[in-house]
């Protein structure tokens, strides 16, 4: 028996010596160097997601999707707000204190946006009447962004977030199909047995079907939430969960369609277009610069050859009917006029000037920020996705699975940012949007534990890994 062990050990040592010789030859390529045992301090650890991070991500997403509507006294406290209220201080402590070395420009921009919005609200309407609104804005803006920054810090945690979100949406899909065909908000009816729920939206059927709000306050919000998951699942999970990526992408598209929302369908079409562009020109490094240049040229050409502005043309073809496009054009005209009258601090939570036949709803997220808080607030919040996009392009050394997640996140950011020109988002979907922005900041931070998770190695590389770990068992860090 001892002779057999000695023979195996000698054979192992010979194979290991040959592998080392091949690595030390001039001009030779390292043998799967990523699998070799790294020296202490020379390589970031593999991306991992702790049990606590996965649990908190799951709880946060569940809180977004619970259609309950509780309150404490005069304070409305739905599950997502309750989660943010409890998590706000711990998340901000980790974000701003424990990980202060990883703070970046998007972090500064989100704080400046909230501070300016708060100052504008106080300057226009006073503090006493807006304490609750300012506090809620703090939770939904800074709190949601902080949750994304702290809990989604690498590839593993982002994949966990995507997986949890699409599973929740998949569970809701049969109920959404029933609501679409029967016209009954079944999810709201079921949860009403537990307590107060969101009110069902009474809307005129579109194309002969009921628009689905599922577990959110409006079909627009449900559609935007569903649309954001399409590329996150299809591209972000393509190297780890191939079956889930196809099924999940189908679930996301189906639910976006069930909402029959202009913004949701626009976001889905934008993602299709961007992914197709990336696929066709994948060998051309400057493909996104080319797309930006062609977009600018197309905008100028459209402005020159048509009697209407490019915005009017865009709205005309991006909406379901002429009545909807007419309303959005009116919103744009009267909303921009309001911004022109109050460019610095906006009008706060007051009513904007419009004809009596128009509702108070303003179907343009970016315009709402300018009308409420002024142009500086709009520039600050719009700069956050722009900075994430530009800085993530500088990451040239990321592994393939990380680059896939970066592509997915950037495509979703661009498509959603354009889609919310035609719709407004609030409450849970606004929280989801700020969470996504925070969850994508790690794209811009080099060396943020984004090494791919170890896979079973083969041959000599596997032997060298085992040998390294066996010969250095007790190193202390």
Q: Give domain limits for the chain.
A: 51-444
- CA 473 to CA 166: how far, in whole Å? 41
**166: number of Cβ within 10 Å:** 24
Q: Return the top range by mean pLDDT from 3-12, 396-405, 416-425, 460-469.
A: 416-425
Question: Cα dist. 217→39, 80, 187, 321, 366 in Å?
Answer: 53, 13, 12, 23, 20
Comparing C-alpha atoms, which of 148, 164, 198 is closest to residue 384? 148
Average pLDDT, the chain: 85
Identify whether the C-beta of residue 451 lies closer than 8 Å to the C-beta of residue 45.
yes
Whether residue 310 has pLDDT greater than 90: no
Who wins on pLDDT, 278 or 45? 278
pLDDT above 80 (res 156): yes
**Stretch 179-194: mean pLDDT:** 94
Share of the chain above pLDDT 70, in %: 83
Q: 3-state class of 199 per DSSP? A: coil
Mean pLDDT within 107-131: 94
Residue 374 has pLDDT above 80, yes or no: yes
Torsion of CA 97, 98, 100, 104, to 10 degrees: -110
Of 147-161, 230-244, 342-356, minimum mean pLDDT range:
230-244
Q: How far apart are the first and last CA of the chain?
A: 38
Torsion of CA 329, 332, 333, 335, to 10 degrees: 150
What is the pLDDT confidence band of residue 20, given thresholds at 50, 70 and 90? low
**Residue 33 — pLDDT band, cuts 50, 70, 90?**
very low
Q: How far apart are CA 300 and CA 83, in angstroms?
A: 46
pLDDT value at position 316?
74
pTM (predicted TM-score): 0.84
Report the pLDDT value the prediction gives residue 257, as an integer from 0 to 100: 96
Q: What is the pLDDT of residues 68-109, one digit of tens each?
A: 988 877 778 899 999 999 999 999 999 999 888 889 999 999
At 474 the pLDDT is 42
In this predicted structure, what is the pLDDT of residue 476? 42
Furthest CA-CA distance within the chain = 97
Distance CA(284)–CA(286), nearest Å, equals 6
Residue-wise pLDDT for 323-348, tens only, equals: 778 888 899 999 999 999 999 999 99
Average pLDDT over residues 358-368: 92
């Amino acid at each position: 028996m001892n002779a057999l062990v000695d023979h195996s050990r000698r054979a192992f040592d010979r194979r290991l010596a040959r592998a080392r010789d091949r690595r030390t030859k001039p001009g030779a390529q390292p043998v799967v160097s990523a699998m070799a045992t790294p020296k202490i301090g020379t390589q970031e650890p593999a991306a991992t997601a702790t049990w606590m991070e996965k649990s908190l991500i799951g709880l946060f997403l569940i809180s977004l999707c619970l259609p309950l509507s509780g309150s404490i006294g005069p304070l409305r406290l739905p599950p997502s707000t309750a989660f943010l209220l409890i998590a706000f201080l711990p998340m901000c402590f980790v974000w701003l204190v424990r990980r202060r070395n990883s703070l970046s420009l998007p972090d500064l921009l989100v704080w400046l946006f909230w501070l300016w919005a708060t100052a504008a609200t106080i300057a226009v309407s006073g503090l006493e009447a807006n304490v609750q609104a300012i506090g809620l804005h703090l939770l939904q803006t800074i709190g949601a962004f902080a949750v994304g920054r702290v809990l989604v810090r690498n590839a593993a945690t982002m994949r966990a977030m995507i997986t949890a979100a699409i599973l929740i949406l998949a569970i809701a899909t049969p109920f959404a199909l029933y609501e679409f065909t029967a016209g009954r908000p079944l999810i709201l009816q079921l949860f009403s047995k537990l307590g107060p729920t969101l009110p069902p939206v009474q809307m005129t059927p579109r194309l002969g079907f009921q628009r689905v709000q599922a577990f959110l306050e409006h079909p627009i919000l449900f559609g935007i939430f569903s649309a954001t998951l399409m590329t996150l699942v299809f591209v972000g999970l393509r190297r780890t969960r191939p079956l889930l990526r196809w099924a999940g992408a189908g679930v996301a598209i189906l639910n976006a369609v069930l909402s029959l929302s202009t913004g949701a369908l626009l976001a889905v079409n934008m993602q299709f277009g961007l992914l197709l562009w990336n696929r066709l020109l994948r060998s051309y490094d400057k493909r996104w610069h080319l797309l930006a240049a062609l977009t600018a040229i197309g905008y100028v050409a459209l402005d020159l050859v048509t009697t209407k502005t490019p915005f009017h043309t865009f709205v005309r073809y991006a909406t379901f009917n002429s009545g909807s496009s007419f309303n959005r054009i009116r919103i744009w005209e009267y909303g921009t006029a309001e911004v022109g009258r109050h460019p610095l601090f906006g009008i706060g939570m007051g009513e904007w000037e419009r004809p009596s036949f128009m509702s108070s709803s303003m179907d343009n997220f970016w315009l709402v920020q300018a009308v409420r808080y002024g142009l500086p607030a709009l520039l600050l919040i719009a700069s956050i996705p722009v900075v994430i996009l530009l800085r993530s392009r500088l990451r040239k050394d990321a592994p393939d699975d990380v680059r896939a997640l970066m592509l997915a996140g950037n495509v979703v950011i661009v498509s959603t940012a354009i889609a919310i020109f035609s719709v407004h988002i609030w409450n849970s979907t606004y929280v989801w949007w700020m969470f996504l922005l925070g969850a994508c900041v790690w794209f811009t931070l080099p060396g943020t534990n984004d090494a791919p998770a170890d896979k079973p190695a083969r041959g000599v590389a596997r032997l060298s890994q085992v040998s390294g770990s066996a010969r250095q068992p007790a190193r202390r860090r």
